[in-house]
Amino acid sequence: MMYYRRCLLVVIVLLSCPLLVWGNEFRIVPSISVREDYNSNILFLTDDIKKDFITTISPGIEIVNNTQRLETDLLARLNRIDYADNREFSATDQLYNGKFRYHATPLFNISAEAGYVRDSQPGRDIQTSGIILTTVPRNRYNASLSADYQLSEKTAVGVSYAFGRDDYGSMRYVDDVSHDVNAGLVYDLGQYFQRVKGRVNLGYSNYVFPDSRIDSVMGTVGFSRDFSETGSIQIDGGIRHTWSKFSVNEPVYIYFFQIPVLIGYVNVPQNNDGWGWVADVSLNYKGELGNGSLTYSRDITPASGLNGAVERNALILSTQYRMTYEFSILFSAGYYTNKSDAGQFSTQAIDERTIRVSPGLRYEFSKNIALESSYDYTAVDYLESNTSANRNLLSIRLYLQYPIWE
């Protein structure tokens, strides 16, 4: 009952906030999408593989309200997921999100975001982390607050705080809480290098799990450069120092005539710390007919459900090319590594490699109606257990939206 009250409260807040900030631009855009999938391995298992057809119906509503100073974007969506054969995995997922940006002065801006997601599909994190989960439902809460200030014509500073929490309510996965604080400075180096800006960033992270806690500080330097109006590059690199605290169950023995007899277990705290390097590189293009991005990142980040954090490398490519006004070709791919030794960033050893390739097509009948089809191949290697799994996913999706107030 408390869960449904919480969801109802979020909906009420999302729907009522725009009334308080009526302004220059106001839109209410209901939408619905219907998606049909063929999944060759719905649970992403290494054996006992199950295939199925999956239908997803997703009604939603977006409310946008922009004034001279305040920008608001509120979104609510339900995903009704039905399996043709494996009916026990059918579920209703939910998403609620709100974004706000306030221009206090021409030089000073404040932004905030908050959201709640309830999801249940094994592939829910593949595109972001490469980690495979099961159909255990997850309640994810997130919130962030940031501010940026233009100190001078060449210098800008910014600070941000982000909060995240994952609740599973299951013995199979553990909950986690994360806090991230960052401060950065950007300086225009145009007098020395054309279209180049230097960047400095400092950050602190805190990740809390039932049996562990991880604290880390990091510092990066880098630059960004606009090649033209269509292309840009950004490179940041630096170091991170991490402190880890774990509670490990160790056996307790008593000896009878030099023969050990197990009498139980005791929690023994352990500490670990170390240095590592971090990086964030992105190459972006946005032209008249196409757009794309190629990103690489390396950092320590929570491994949702795995009772710890991992050192993650992620290389992601995403492109779209418009053949005609209506018809576009889509392509995305990713390669992810998630690794942690036992007692390093998690209580258990984690070593996974994931690769994903997804070509697709999109046809836009109008700005409010679009049809997409795609093929997605994902494979993961679990190096600790020397096993692997893969999935073929064929999808077709029809999306419709209709602004009723614009």
Domain ranges of the chain: 2-401
Task: Quick: pLDDT tens for 368-378.
Answer: 999 999 999 99
DSSP 266-314: EEEEEEEEEEEEEEEEEEEEE-SSEEEEEEEEEEEEE-TTSSBEEEEEE
Query: What pLDDT, on the 0 to 100 scale, is given for residue 84?
Result: 97
Residue 88 per-residue DSSP state = G
Total-model pTM:
0.85
- Beta-strand (E) ranges in 70-137? 70-83, 91-105, 108-119
Largest CA distance in the chain: 86
Report which of 7, 1, 31 is spatially closest to residue 96, judged by C-alpha positions.
7
Assign domain 2-401 to a CATH class. Answer: mainly beta
Averaged pLDDT of the chain: 89
User: If DSSP codes are grouped into helix, strand and coil, which group holds residue 366?
Assistant: strand
Rounded-to-integer distance, Cα 56 and Cα 67, Å: 35
Categorize the per-residue pLDDT at 2 as very low, low, confident or very high, splitting at 50, 70 and 90: very low
Query: What pLDDT, on the 0 to 100 scale, is given for residue 133?
Result: 86
Burial class (CB in 10 A: 0-12, 13-18, 19+), 263: exposed
